Amino acid sequence: MKPCVQCRQPLSDNASFCRNCGAPQPPQRHGPDKKVQVTLIICLAAVAAAAIIFVLLLVFHSKAKNTPRTFDFTCAQYTDEINRLLGEKELNPNYWVVSDSKASYKGGTYWIDLDTDLDSKKIKKITVGPADLEDGIKMASVSLMAVDESQTQKTALDTLALYKDVNLNVFVFEANENRLPKQLSAVGAALTQTTTPQPVSTYEPPPPSVIVEPPTTTQPQTEDPKASAYRAYLTHLENNRSWFVDYKDNAYSGKRFEHIIAFKDLNGDGVEEMIYLKAPEENQLRVYLCILTYQDGSVTTLYEDLFVTFAGAECGYDIYIGNDGKLYHILSHFPNSSAYLYSVDGNTVSATCLANTYGVGTGNPDIDYYIDGKDVSQEAYKSYIENMRSGIATYLSYYHGMGTNPGTDDISLDYDRACNFLRSNI
């Protein structure tokens, strides 16, 4: 309905004149169809939504492109997983050298570098070397097992060559490496790349208890044997730190191990042996003399025996190289003292008692004195010991009033100084 333009009487929408007053009526103006309007609105909304989605995809793609791909675990998690797989504390978490985007670890005859994301601290790349030594291969294969739970020791050795950089003599595992599988449940995480089929290796590895290098065409290892020995000695000390350090909290034996470690070539092969006293037991009363050497890529024990029991009477000792170039010890421990010669022939060490005393009880026990197994007087024994002490050339270890004589060298070290010496010469 519409009103008349003159008398305002209601008229039909199509009326051309008013039936009441006869006034002509203008034609009705029709607006746009409502269905057309709704359709137009829907189309415009769809175009706007598509534009928003497109912009969001661009932003997401740009962000994903600029975000570094990482393994979903940190240096600490990597350390825990390696130790779990090896079943021992091979990696000491306190001995990583960490910067903003890198973590480095030096073991006995191997080293590990971790490139980490600056923000998340997660690992982007794992580099293990050297790739032509047994320990480097072992740590690389375990690293591969850590980032791929489907790997066993055998399959890790079979596929290890895929990650070898021949020019740098290292193994490299990158988070954006297509060959690595996507899942990383070993540390409860996931990698960012999918896996591709692994090529079949023709190399047949030895039994699982032995890890050796697959055949390669790389150049032989050229590292200085002395540096390799120092790496191995450092790992040995770090893995057995409690033997040398826990004594600091022991009021009874706290100063007895301030000069306990030395490095000296005893068998003439040009590489120093490591000579030390250790107290591995909780009360640290029983002290052992140990002589270690480095051969065939690992540390080998040449000699280990009980040296003294720090109980009851006080004692003092000298372990030294004499003017004749031989290894000796003089131990004063009431009522039982001793003097020994240690003969080193290649990788064999034998101990010979030169002189000793024997007594039972405390107070004023009867003491017997011996030189070369023969009963002698107290004066003869003391003279023999003083004559030995006058022939000291280099101190390896000493305690309680013995110490350096004028004109002698002292290469004895405590645990911290020994570790620092090894690190500075690797």
- Sheet-wide strand order for 111-116: 97-98, 102-106, 111-116, 123-129, 170-174, 164-165
Q: Does residue 346 lie within any of the structural domains?
A: yes
Does the residue 201 lie in any domain?
no
Total residues belonging to the chain:
426
Are 406 and 290 within one domain? yes
Averages of pLDDT over runs of 10 residues in the chain (426 residues) are 82 80 74 66 83 77 60 88 82 84 83 89 91 85 86 82 85 70 34 37 44 48 79 90 66 63 91 89 76 89 85 74 92 84 90 88 75 92 91 84 64 88 88
- pLDDT of amino acid 252: 47
Both tokens of 169, joined, read 């003599």
Task: Clarify whether residues 129 and 269 are in a common domain.
Answer: no
Q: Given this model, what pLDDT does residue 341 score? A: 95
Same structural domain for residues 121 and 251? no
Beta strands in 227-284 (DSSP E): 261-264, 273-278
Which residues constitute the domain of residue 56? 2-27+35-66
pLDDT of residue 256: 64
Q: Do 82 and 62 have their domain in common?
A: no
**Does 219 map to a domain?**
no
For residue 384, is it within any domain?
Answer: yes
284 and 157 share one domain:
no
Question: 41 and 85 share a domain?
Answer: no
The confidence score (pLDDT) of residue 367 equals 86
Query: 94 and 47 in one domain?
Result: no
Instruction: State how far the Cα of 73 lies from the Cα of 75, in Å rounded to an integer.
Output: 7
Domain boundary among 138, 171, 190: 190
Considering the domain architecture, whether residues 267 and 132 belong to the same structural domain is answered as: no
Q: What is the Cα–Cα distance from 137 to 105, expressed in whole angstroms?
A: 15
The predicted structure's pLDDT at residue 278? 86
Same structural domain, 19 and 79: no
Give me the number of domains the chain comprises.
3
Give yes or no: residues 21 and 114 share one domain.
Answer: no
> How would you class 405 by CB atoms within 10 Å of its CB: exposed for 0-12, middle for 13-18, buried for 19 or more?
middle
- The answer to whether residues 244 and 105 belong to one domain is no
DSSP H/E element including 235: helix 225-239
The answer to whether position 195 is within a domain reads no
| pTM, full prediction | 0.48
